Structure 1
Amino acid sequence: MDATPELTDTITRRARISGITVTGIPLRPGTAEYYDASSERGYSRDPSSGWNVEGIGGLIMDAQNGHVDGDGYYHYHGIPSAVTSGLDDTLFGYAADGFEIHYLGDQVQSSWQLKSGVRESGPGGAHDGTYVQDYEFVAGSGDLDECNGGMLNGQYVYYVTHTYPFFPRCFKGTVSDDFFGGRGDRPAPVEGERPPRSDGNRPPRGDSG
């Protein structure tokens, strides 16, 4: 990753790995699973429904909000208390574009909010956080931008939050090619879109994400 990151004029919407903790564990908040009424589990890798399963709230995680993928790599989907409880300061890790990721507990709030009402397609039911599409970015409703970023001591950084998106899922700097992978080619940076529905994660046996 870039040791001297700079803000760019574009936002990169997808990377297989969002960043790495100070303890060296990858952050992979997204999943490659979608609602699928024809599947016994209720979800599959078929994206045709458009309803992407959210890792936290939609899949089974361990006590640290992580699990092992099909390649045997452990990664986090949400906040690991084992990391946050051992921090000497607020530095939690580094994002895929090189900017720092900080953890300030409840001192900063995401601007992503659960939608009201019920889903008009797919799985139906109330927007409860099971799917990425249950959320929408509401500028000014929290402290952070759509990539879960903001200023700290005069520097742009990303934040870990206790609510969606938990970790940055889009990036305002130049993302290293090392953080792309999985299904599909490296995506071009785009603007004005929601965060990605999938990061190409391969599921462990009997699990996913």
Structure 2
Amino acid sequence: MRTVACHNTALELEWTRFCSDTVVQFVKMLIETIRQITPNVPTTVNLGHLSTRIDHFDLAETVEFISGCVTLDNSIPSPEIALQLDRLRSLKQETGKCPDGSPGFWIMGQPVSIPTTSAIHNLPKPGLLRCLAYQCVARGANAVVFIPWRQPRIGPEKFAGGILPHHVRRENRLYRELAQLGEEFKLISAAIKDTVVRRPRCHSLHVRQSMGY
């Protein structure tokens, strides 16, 4: 069915921005409640994906430090992942500090397997997790947290992978690869400590929203 009037792009743009402001206010309300209970615990939200539905710059002002995730999805090209990381680095440039007081951001909840929304849950190719972790660090990440530690036993995620599989043996490939990555990070941590990656503001949500309509 078609409407009589033409497509109102201005109205859709205003609706998108209204929804973004609503989400930001909701998150702000939640964080204010959390701060009343745990005032000394830093807060953050997942700001990983390049979405035009939420203004991440406004959302970043509601938290103490920036965090995000990199989806382990074969359909996402490497340049787009790089853009996601650069966008994270450009958020909260003046006041953003990680829990240890250093500038940058954290990768929170880096999956070790293909998302459960995929039709086939293949293990990542050998070296892919290390490659993504180094890409995150090279673009300003101060921490990379991998999940889940153990493969879930119930729910749809039981068909996805974990650092430790159902039989909880440490000789599996994912565990060995992440253990190797940890040893490598120990070797380079002294060299990259206190280094700061240049922070450009490379993302304009309002421009992307306007071009999308």
Shorter chain as normaliser: what TM range?
A: under 0.3
Greater helix fraction, Structure 1 or Structure 2: 2
TM-score normalised by structure 2 residue count: 0.23
TM-score normalised by structure 1 residue count: 0.23
Greater strand fraction, Structure 1 or Structure 2: 1
Q: Kindly indicate whether structure 1 or structure 2 has the higher relative contact order, using CA contacts under 8 Å at least 6 residues apart.
A: 1
Task: State which structure, 1 or 2, has the greater radius of gyration over its C-alpha atoms.
Answer: 2
